[in-house]
Amino acid sequence: MPLHDELLTTLVMYIGRLAAAGQLPLLRQIGMSPQQIERVRRLSLAEMNELSTLGGHFMDIRVDAESFERALAVTGRRLGERTVAERLLRAGACHPAMKALTGMETREFVARRQMLGLAGTGNGRAAKPDAEGQHRICKAWVDCSGEADPKLRLLEVHAATGFPVRAIWPVVNAWEGRGELPIADGDHGRWLDLLQQTQAKPALRNPAGHSAASAHSVQPPQSGVGVSSASTINR
């Protein structure tokens, strides 16, 4: 089946540029002999155009459908991951969160924020939410426990509470790990109600640092649910 003339012309012209640049290894890889490379290098533009009209006789391009399907899937996944990363950055994610969730290094973090026009916004650590705010965050985190992807789950909590991700991140790490939550005296009931909805069982302590009564003290889980292995709270 003859290839499209425009594609043939492009390929033949590219071969000519490679020959003129002395890229013998590349041309040898596609099956050209040294003598053929030298002859192509000597052709004029008009002669290259003439050669392209015969391209269907010496070039054959095929697509491996199975491999191409895998390439499309990988491309789609990468684009999706890029989109989610941008959503996290726009939602105020800090570098420790982006590093743990996406592996993003500091240089890329800074560059991506600049590209999104965020360089002058949301710098520094977010103010730590008060006890009421932390309860709202934990409740939203539990409510969207059906979301298996921690990145999307953080975005859902951000949408539900309005807190930036950099403020949400240490709170959910305290909830999932061995951190302490600000449980005020007489406020254990609603936290225990929340605990009954989840596998996570952080140690409940009041602001003065005293452990709650034994009926209100729950051992932390063996492993976190959803958040990457960062169980350390970013103070």
DSSP collapsed to 3 states, 83-102: HHHHHHHHCCCCHHHHHHHH
Q: Please give the share of the chain, as a percent, with pLDDT higher than 90.
A: 45
Task: Determine the pLDDT at residue 35.
Answer: 93
67 compared with 125, residue with greater pLDDT:
67
Asked if pLDDT for residue 187 goes beyond 90, the answer is: no
Compute the average pLDDT of residues 166-171.
93
Task: Determine the pLDDT at residue 122.
Answer: 64
Q: How many residues does the chain have?
A: 235
Compute the average pLDDT of residues 111-118.
92
Compute the average pLDDT of residues 149-153.
95
Compute the average pLDDT of residues 42-70.
86
The helix-helix angle for 150-161 and 65-90 (nearest 10°) equals 30
Task: Determine the pLDDT at residue 2.
Answer: 53
Task: Determine the pLDDT at residue 207.
Answer: 43
Compute the average pLDDT of residues 111-136.
84
Quote the tokens at residue 93: 């994610």
- Judged by phi (left if over 0) then psi (alpha if -120 to 50, else beta), residue 162 lies in left
- For the chain, give the mean pLDDT: 79
Task: Determine the pLDDT at residue 137.
Answer: 93
Asked if pLDDT for residue 233 goes beyond 60, the answer is: no
The 10 Å Cβ neighbour count of residue 66 is 8
Q: Please give the share of the chain, as a percent, with pLDDT higher than 70.
A: 76
Distance between CA 125 and CA 22 in Å, rounded? Answer: 55
Distance between CA 26 and CA 10 in Å, rounded? Answer: 16
Distance between CA 108 and CA 95 in Å, rounded? Answer: 10
Task: Determine the pLDDT at residue 85.
Answer: 96
Three-class SS state of 206: coil
Task: Determine the pLDDT at residue 6.
Answer: 76
Asked if pLDDT for residue 181 goes beyond 60, the answer is: yes
Task: Determine the pLDDT at residue 185.
Answer: 62
Asked if pLDDT for residue 222 goes beyond 50, the answer is: no
Convert the pLDDT of each residue in 188-213 to its tens digit. Answer: 777 777 777 765 445 444 444 444 43
Quote the tokens at residue 36: 């053929």
